[in-house]
Every structure is written in C-alpha cells, then in structure tokens.
Amino acid sequence: MKWCRVSVEDRAVFGILEGDEVVPVEGSPFGTSRPTPGRYSLSGVKILVPVLPANFYAVGVNYRAHVEWARMHHGLAVEIPGQPDIGYRSVNALIPTGAPIIIPGDSPGPVEYEGELVAVVGRTARHLSEGEALSCLLGYTLGNDVSERAWQRSDRTLWRAKNTDTFKPMGPVIATDLDPMTQHIVVRINGKIVNEYETGSMLFTLQQYISRMTRYLTLYPGDVIWLGTDGATEPALTPGDVVEIEDEAIGVLRNPVVRER
C-alpha cells in the first residue's frame, strides 16, 4: 500500500495511491481514515511532502564505505560510530518530489546528494526491543540529504550544510510492507546512475536504532528516521541537473537543481 499527501482544491489531504490514481481520504494514516468520493489522476494533483514530522531524526553516518569516502575526499572528521547515536534535521528544509533544490548564491560548494531510505513512525512508541522495533512503523519513504561540503567543514554545526531551505527532498510516497534491510537504493543525475547500494550494509540496523532511541525518547506518529547513505556522493549537483533517488518498492524522488539568484 502506498500513502501520499497531495494538494486537492488548495487543501493538503492524505491519499492512497492506486496505480496512477490518488484516492483522497478523510483522516490520516496515523489514525483512522476512510476514502472520500472521487479519484484524481496523479499527474493532475500536486504531490506534497508525505508527512510533516514533529521530530526529524537522521542517523548521519551508517555505512562504512561512505565514512571512508567522506574522510578521503572531503577531509571530514568522520569516524566509524561505535554505537547508534541519532542526529537531527528540521522541517524547514523539506520539499516534495518535483520541487527545486536551491543552492544559495554564496555556497562555495560542492553541494552533494545523499540518497537515503527513510522510516516513518506510525504509532507512539517507547522502550521497544529490537524484535519489536519495526512494529511502530507505518512504512518507508525516500530522502535526499543534500549537503554543502564546504559548510560541513567550516561551521560548528550542520545547520547550514544540511538544513538550508530545500536541502531535504522527501517522498514521493510512504510504502508499507517492505523489508528495510533488503532495499536497493539507486541515485541518478540527469538519468545516469551515479550511486547504488544495498541497505543491508548498514553498520547499525534500523532495529538497533529504534530500540536504543526508544530507551530514552518517545517516538510519535509521523516522526521520520533518515537512515544514511553508502559510498561516494559525487559528482556534485550543479544548476540544471535533475537528481533522482529510487527504490523499486517506493518509487522515484525527483528534484531539479537551481542556483539562488
């Protein structure tokens, strides 16, 4: 099943994607919902970010090859983490599929993609064991953790490097019923594959993250956990590019790149 969020008559509503059609619902996937009359062609509605999370978690570094690459190519002080410590992003930067990634006028660059699987929490959860961990999830979507590497080195925090407006494309839909540890993530720039990896290579599993997180904090419906990327994230994004993150079960998150005037 695929959940989406769309703009219908200037109102944001959740919907169920059936083939190329959207069936809007009353309510939400995080509570009760029921289909409303009418169907819309997917091409005729505006797709929104599939959920606006109250808490926006990101694991940051969770794949060995990406850590090694970041150290070698960007001189970033990234270590292989010894335990699953989560980080944060913020919703100001979220954009849906189709919306432009806007590189600030004063960005020295490079600005790079990071194609990620994203877990979406479906119910309130605390103190989950690894065995129970995935039971709190509604499903999965895709994220592009766009990163300004010069600011990632120069700034005390990641706010500008990772959380400039438009730097967090997320979508297109939330797919239920998939195994987060057996996904194949593909990144394309202008139709050409530039990165692909298996989520099974994670240093810490999603189950380990959720179990450890819920020992100290409550997960809420709609919260998202971005699961990191593997390997290199080159070439850099340049104005005019179209960057796509794809997973067979979820679909394609596609965003053009522009430069701020």
Q: Give me the residues that bind its own copies (CB under 8 A), please.
A: 52, 54-57, 60, 79, 81-83, 85-93, 104, 126, 155-157, 159-160, 163-165, 213, 215-220, 223
Is the separation of the CB atoms in 48 and 96 below 8 Å? yes
Specify the residue, 141 or 214, whose C-beta has the smaller distance to its own copies.
Answer: 214
Rounded-to-integer distance, Cα 139 and Cα 230, Å? 21
Q: How far is the CB of 63 from its own copies (least distance, A)?
A: 15
Nearest distance, CB of residue 83 and its own copies, angstroms: 7
CB closer to its own copies out of 34 and 156: 156
Which residues are bridge partners to 235 per DSSP?
Answer: none
d(CA 41, CA 130): 40
Shortest distance (Å) from residue 248 CB to its own copies:
31
Residue with smaller CB distance to its own copies, 87 or 256:
87
Q: Which two tokens stand for residue 34?
A: 């029921």
Q: In terms of DSSP bridges, do strands 40-41 and 21-27 run parallel, antiparallel, or are they unpaired?
A: antiparallel
Q: Find the shortest distance in angstroms from Cβ 172 to its own copies.
A: 22
Decide: 22 and 45 in contact? Cβ < 8 Å.
yes
Please say which residue, 100 or 104, places its beta carbon nearer to its own copies.
104
Cα–Cα distance measured from residue 233 to residue 226, given in angstroms and rounded to the nearest whole number: 16
Q: Which is nearer to its own copies, 23 or 91 (CB)?
A: 91
Residue 21 tokens read as 């059609």
Rounded CA separation 146/148 (Å) = 7
Residue 18 beta carbon to its own copies: minimum distance, rounded to whole angstroms: 31
DSSP state of 37: S
